[in-house]
Copies of this chain bind each other. A is one copy, B any other.
């Protein structure tokens, strides 16, 4: 459940064909993130990807199928964009650096803040059960990456024994998603910073070394 395969629609793909397919998915992902799935017509995608109307139906049978491809693409893109930090969140420094990365990335785009996966999931959860499941799977991958780092810290004895690293990992993802949602709505990163910093301060306070205090 990651990059390709989809529904076996990619049986024989010419190099040119694959490029066209990618162009469609990339354009669709960008538009659907900015305007939402329902707010993005296939004609919009056509123009942005510079393809003719029938291409989309050649590579994806359906708008729904295109949306699923967009989910898969966006999930991979979002997670990969956090590497190599996301794969090694096993220290306070790494967590802080990752936090900074997420905040700076959001500041980059004045318009259209937020998280592609979260936005897609929020819109589709009520109408498309399949899409909801795939978004949930994407979040599960995200959660796992964070959890692995915190578990490593715990196993190394850097976190207090009465700590639940799994809960902290999930809380970190929650703070990130809530922060990104509010970033999209408020058009600033204040909430994102407050959310992540608070969770990270909590983790810092649970570290065995130097538990004195660490003001925000």
Contact = CB atoms under 8 A, between A and B. Distances in A.
Interface string A180-203: 011011110011101101110110
Given A114-B122, A139-B185, A198-B202, A167 B38 contact: no
Given A126-B112, A174-B192, A185 B121 contact: yes
A213 interface: yes
Contacts of A216: 162-164, 167
A125 interface: yes
B123 A36 contact: yes
Interface of A is mostly: helix
A107 B199 CA distance: 24
A135, A176, A194 — most chain B CB neighbours (10 Å)? A194
A102 interface: no
A164 to B, nearest CB: 5
Contacts of A127: 35-36, 39
Nearest to A176: B178
Nearest to A132: B185
Assembly of this chain: how many copies? 2
A160 to B, nearest CB: 8
Contacts of A201: 202
B205 A136 contact: no
A186 B114 CA distance: 19
Contacts of A190: 170
A51 interface: no
A125 B132 contact: no
A75 interface: no
Given A191-B174, A198-B167, A202-B205, A118 B181 contact: yes
A185 B119 contact: no
A187 B174 CA distance: 14
10 contacts: A33-B126, A38-B39, A112-B126, A114-B122, A168-B194, A168-B198, A171-B195, A173-B191, A198-B199, A198-B202
